[in-house]
Amino acid sequence: MFRKLVKTDALTIEDRTFAVRYFELRTQRGTRRYSAEILLGPDDRIILDDDSVSELEARTARLVPATLYSRMLVARATAA
């Protein structure tokens, strides 16, 4: 099973921009699955999957900001 790049995008949250790559994968049953790879840093990425690119875009728009904000809160709590 190979992933095929179907779309690239950028997600801007506050003053930072993150690269997003959308892939299509055919399952063994022949159905299509889509995944998004969001690059937060050189060794830090989030991977999401869904049944359609539009649903995946919506999920990305909701989850990436929440992930970043929760990481900021944890960093503040451990620094204090």
pLDDT in tens, 4-23: 999 999 999 989 999 999 99
* Choice between 71 and 34, residue whose per-residue pLDDT is larger: 34
pLDDT (tens digit per residue) in 50-77: 999 999 999 999 999 999 999 888 888 8
d(CA 56, CA 23): 10
Residue 29 is given by DSSP the state T
Residue 42 is given by DSSP the state T
The confidence score (pLDDT) of residue 76 equals 83
What is the amino acid identity at position 31?
A: T
